């Protein structure tokens, strides 16, 4: 039951994001005095609608998007004489770009709000893999059969605790070697033996500590062989909690990490298509595979079923960042394509004015239709592939 609730809640979150995307266009267009004819969520047959002022608001049967109909959005749009003074194309370029960008801006605001709420409630993941101390325990051997660390007890050394290492300390250097990430710190500690100086950052100041690194047995993940390495009995802090004030810069930083992940994912997208086709035929579907709204909702449902609400919120935030960035790509019919056309017109007219030439009419969108149809065809094919894979071979990361 909790899985179904999770899927419904995630789908509802997507629907709200779509509504707010279109609301971004609506509110900015009205703020600049543009004529907004219709604001609808969904496509297809109208379920209900009502008119307030000059704008018709409503809900359609297919919840796969939405639209905000602004008079004069393109040169193809028929504009009534009474609409012409307030048509989109009559407004300054900067106002048009703001209106076109407002949908993506709403996605970014939603994502940042979700991250902020998560920061002040459950905390944010250690996205940078920082070398920050979590639980201070013991330097135990690893069971070569089960792979688990043996329990702490009498006679098991506790080097980190004995040296005064505290949860929240950030390790800056080990034996004089600077470390930036947790893997760096682990590698340096495993290579050390006996009394070793470790410098940590605590409450904004550097604190030097001498830790008696203990020899322990560990199973090499690559070879499966047992080897002796150094250990101090310290786990990494995986989640950081913040107060309302500290959560603001933390939200900005984490947003930067998520944007970086989105750009990386978009750059790697073409090479994922063959694996997506293979997954439809029963191949392995990994967690880096593209997902549709259906696939994302399934993952959200799995997270909710296991009580992983932090992951649920992060997935919804990431989806908003992805949609926001994707929508700004300079391709028609995306908002980014319309922005590119409007900026082109502005640069073109500015250049012609400097050369003493007359201003040209708006770009003829009919000449861009072949490219637009190609984008729609490719995008539709990829969407169909992804949706099919999510139905026949969904990603279930917790199974």
Which residues belong to the active site?
22
In total, the chain counts a number of residues equal to: 399
Q: Are 34 and 86 in contact (CB under 8 A)?
A: yes
Sequence-separated (6 or more) residues with CB below 8 Å from residue 261: 318
Write the CA distances from 58 to 24, 27, 33, 49, 55, integer angstroms: 16, 16, 21, 4, 10
Dihedral angle of Cα 130, 136, 141, 144, to the nearest 10 degrees: -50
Burial class (CB in 10 A: 0-12, 13-18, 19+), 319: buried
DSSP 168-222: TPEEEEETTEE--BHHHHHHHHHT--EEEEEEEEETTEEEEEEEEEEEEEEE-TT
Cα separation, 342 vs 96, in Å, equals 8
**Nearest alpha-carbon partner for 39 in 154, 24, 31:** 24
């Amino acid at each position: 039951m909790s899985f179904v609730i999770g899927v419904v809640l995630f789908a509802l979150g997507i629907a709200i994001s779509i509504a707010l995307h279109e609301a971004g266009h609506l509110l900015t267009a009205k703020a600049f005095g543009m004529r907004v004819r219709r604001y609808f969520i969904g496509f297809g047959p109208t379920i209900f609608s009502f008119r307030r002022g000059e704008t018709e608001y409503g809900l359609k049967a297919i919840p796969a998007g939405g639209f905000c109909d602004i008079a004069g959005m393109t040169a193809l749009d028929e504009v009534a004489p009474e609409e012409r003074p307030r048509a989109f194309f009559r407004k300054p370029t900067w106002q048009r770009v703001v209106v076109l960008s407002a949908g993506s801006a709403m996605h970014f605001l939603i994502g940042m709000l979700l991250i902020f709420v998560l920061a002040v409630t459950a905390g944010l993941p250690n996205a940078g893999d920082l070398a920050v101390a979590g639980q201070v325990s013991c330097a135990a051997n690893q069971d070569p059969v089960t792979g688990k660390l043996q329990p702490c007890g009498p006679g098991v050394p506790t080097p980190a605790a004995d040296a005064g290492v505290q949860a929240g300390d950030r390790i800056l250097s080990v034996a004089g070697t600077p470390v930036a990430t947790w893997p760096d710190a682990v590698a340096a500690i495993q290579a050390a033996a006996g009394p070793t100086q470790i410098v940590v950052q605590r409450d904004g100041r550097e604190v030097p500590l001498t830790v008696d690194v203990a020899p322990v047995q560990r199973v090499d993940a690559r070879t499966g062989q047992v080897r002796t390495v150094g250990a101090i009995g310290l786990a990494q802090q995986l989640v950081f909690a913040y107060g309302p004030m500290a959560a603001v810069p933390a939200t900005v930083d984490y947003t930067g990490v998520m944007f970086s992940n989105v750009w990386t994912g978009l750059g790697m997208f073409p090479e994922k298509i063959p694996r997506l086709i293979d997954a439809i035929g029963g191949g392995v579907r990994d967690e880096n595979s593209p997902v549709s709204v259906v696939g994302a909702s399934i993952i959200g449902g799995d997270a909710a079923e296991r009580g992983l609400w932090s992951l649920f919120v992060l997935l919804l935030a990431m989806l908003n960042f992805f949609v926001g960035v994707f929508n700004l790509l300079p391709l028609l019919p995306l908002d980014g394509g319309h922005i590119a056309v409007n900026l082109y017109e502005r640069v073109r007219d500015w250049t012609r004015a400097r050369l003493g030439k007359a201003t040209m009419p708006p770009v003829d969108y009919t000449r861009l239709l072949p490219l637009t149809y190609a984008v729609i065809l490719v995008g539709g094919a990829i969407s169909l592939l992804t949706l099919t894979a999510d139905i026949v071979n969904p990603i279930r990361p917790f199974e």
